[in-house]
Chains A and B, each alone.
Chain A
Amino acid sequence: DSGVTQTPKHLITATGQRVTLRCSPRSGDLSVYWYQQSLDQGLQFLIQYYNGEERAKGNILERFSAQQFPDLHSELNLSSLELGDSALYFCASTGRGLAQPLNTGELFFGEGSRLTVL
């Protein structure tokens, strides 16, 4: 158990809809990362938050947004869903005890949220 919790584990929805994926990082971790993994693909970095602030952006579509709340949990919002958005979405956390977002720690991944868009 990595200590990173993601909900829901599975989600099936229709094109055009909006969904929210939730992540609770390991206790004390300040940084949260979101990754997308399409079928048989690698891990595509979407976005990183550190202590409530956006830290880095990767290949995140404009239809997607994220935020990190004061209690450090994070949500990834996906809107106007398309068939191609079907994928596993992983949250990872790091940064326990770090005062700066230096990305020096090991990444701990959650079990992922599997999104299916029909």
Chain B
Amino acid sequence: GENVEQHPSTLSVQEGDSAVIKCTYSDSASNYFPWYKQELGKGPQLIIDIRSNVGEKKDQRIAVTLNKTAKHFSLHITETQPEDSAVYFCAARAYGQNFVFGPGTRLSVLP
């Protein structure tokens, strides 16, 4: 079955710097890769996603890149702000299958 690894487990950056979180997946049939943000005491919320027919997607300060050959995808947050502090989860899913989540990255943006 699918296995998703995520690195780093914790990340601290200065406000205004960029943050990058990387995930690798094992199932070449996976074709949908969402990123979820979980703020303290709340449920995970989708922030951006990418499908396998696209190499990069951007939404304001957030971008995701996908390398299907290497089976990895990354979340990039530019100009980080304190409100970006949260736990971020990547996930992978093959068509018709269930989501498999990475273990999460705790991002701290220091003022």
Contacts and interface: CB of A to CB of B under 8 A. Distances in A.
Interface of A: 2, 4, 33, 41-43, 45, 48, 56, 58, 90, 92, 102-104, 106-112
B49 A106 contact: yes
Nearest to B103: A42
Main secondary structure of the interface of B (DSSP, over half): loop
B95 A42 contact: no
Given A42-B104, A56-B98, A90-B43, A103 B34 contact: no
Contacts of A58: 98
Closest 10 CB pairs of A and B: A109-B43, A42-B103, A43-B101, A109-B44, A111-B43, A42-B104, A102-B96, A110-B43, A112-B43, A56-B98
17 contacts: A42-B89, A42-B104, A43-B101, A45-B98, A45-B99, A48-B98, A56-B98, A58-B98, A90-B44, A102-B95, A103-B97, A104-B32, A106-B34, A106-B49, A108-B46, A112-B42, A112-B43
Interface of B: 32, 34, 36, 41-46, 49, 89, 93, 95-104
A110 to B, nearest CB: 5
A107 B42 contact: no
B103 A41 contact: yes
Contacts of B89: 42-43
A109 B41 CA distance: 13
Contacts of B32: 104
A56 B94 CA distance: 14
Contact of A2 (B45, B96, B97): B45
